[in-house]
A and B are shown apart, each in its own frame.
Chain A
């Protein structure tokens, strides 16, 4: 079972990873985009971290909703609407629950994915973060069905996310600013997909040793 401290751990890891990888994500984005991805994400998640103690923690859903509002309202570029919507949908998927199980985690990821698709009018194959997030969620669901432990599942998620991010390299960007370069977007991985991989890798390296709530 996952409780509020675990959710806080995951959100904090996402935020810290975004801040720590500002330059790396920005460099990835500047290959075919405009280089603002790393900067936007870092400035926004800095706010999430600095306001950390102020978020309403009545329950998990409320906490995620408050984080979502901070992200949506304060992060610029495409990142604010996309990442904020995904947190908001994840919050909606677990409303009223105090403890989450693996199926809840998958439901949150599926809800986030649907939110990203709707907000960004994108789908799998468009060379966006969805190309990492969807196969990773599929892998998590399969690992749950196989009865894996949470440590094992997070490790599988990280491996899948990285392989999926790498697999965006030969794709043509069809959404976002990279899409304007058409076939020239071939040859470099999608910055958002790589960010998803780096976040899951950070979770995989720290999850087994977290302080359990």
Chain B
């Protein structure tokens, strides 16, 4: 296997913009173009343009596609309407989370088609699991990772920017929905999804069209404040929005119930088969979560300026009561923030005496409910 990083179709664009690049799950990706704080604030107040071509697309087609996805994933995929999307997960037999996913239902009932979007770091794991689980189902699981570039326009100005470039009916495109259309003359799957806490769109296009689309979006968006935005600000944006990240809040050691996301598990499914991979383990995990609440994912806001990082112990009364999963200085709050799993008895907002052990010093933190930031609608 080659160790050379994979390049997105927009690599030359990033380099011409002077981006600081970073290795991310084997891809050479833009971390930031200038100041990550400026990029973050642009997404919150105007708009940002992201290259997310490292995300892993897997297409599932065939008469049994819905039944198959109901079996392979924890969600009720059969109930997704055409043109809608759903957040779901894929777990191992033991209930451990393999990845969190967005599934788009694209095809009409007579030609079922779904697109499963996996995290870059887990795309191969998800592809392998889906391929293995497809045995016995009349479906085709297709690796479409190289078929798409993915651009995301996020922020309050994003609907206006996109409207100037497409005839697609964006006003009737709801959050977590997607429709095929044309943007700046380029065929695209236009999805109203994102990972920033803002209104925005994700555009799946052929890699050969990516540069043209990027250029058109920048030209249309620059006058209203659109800026290129890198993975660094994507992380602080999603952290403020309280969105979990695989490898941090979600791991193979946690079931969805341990992660506080048991609601994505649907034991009742609109399909002939009620069974799915991990069902027995998840049923047990759900029962466990009822009787002995697991550690709870909470928000922490720093009193001081030291930044908590993933893996730092959360403490109270000299005892470790949890662990930070993600932490960063929050540009919007102006203070360091973190997500952390803490013992249930210390999880209530305002619980006094909670701190984070930052390299040997116990820094005081306020326990808050997630998210830290919610956009005004």
Partners in one complex: no
- Chain B residues in the interface with A (C-beta under 8 A): none
